[in-house]
Amino acid sequence: MIMAIILWFLLALGLAGGLWYFWAKPAAERRADYNAAAEADGVLQEAEMACLRHRFDLARALYERALKLALPVDALLASEACYGLARVAMENKQWPEAVAYLESALALQPDWPVAKDEYARFLEDKLRLARRAVDQTS
């Protein structure tokens, strides 16, 4: 009888562990992804404020940090960080670098969680302008 109780206890413990592994662990991973995306969004806002204050060195560092945070969890935020880096490069007249960042932002478009056609067209327009600037300076 005691052996049966112990076996039932072990079975229940195993089921609880299995439930944790298949339910709680993925939930914790989703929560971690959400937290990383939220932090990336906050860093993007700080970078925008730095750009508005013409502190482009600080903005560059913040956009790079946002890109590192966003890349594994949210392609749209990563695209916004790439655009921010392109914007800083354009302010510094580093046109080839701006083209590379804009191409990276557009390359992430298929992974965006929702379609943002207007934003994609905006990035394409900026890419055209940056490529024209590269051609004019060459």
What is the C-alpha to C-alpha distance for residues 120 and 125, in angstroms, rounded to an integer? Answer: 9
How many CB atoms within 10 Å of residue 77? 24
User: Model confidence over 46-80: pLDDT tens digits?
Assistant: 999 999 999 999 999 999 999 999 988 889 999 99
User: Model confidence over 75-110: pLDDT tens digits?
Assistant: 999 999 999 999 999 999 999 999 999 999 999 998
What is the C-alpha to C-alpha distance for residues 67 and 20, in angstroms, rounded to an integer? Answer: 32
- Domains, the chain, in order of start with CATH, read 2-137 (1.25.40.10)
Amino acid at 110: P
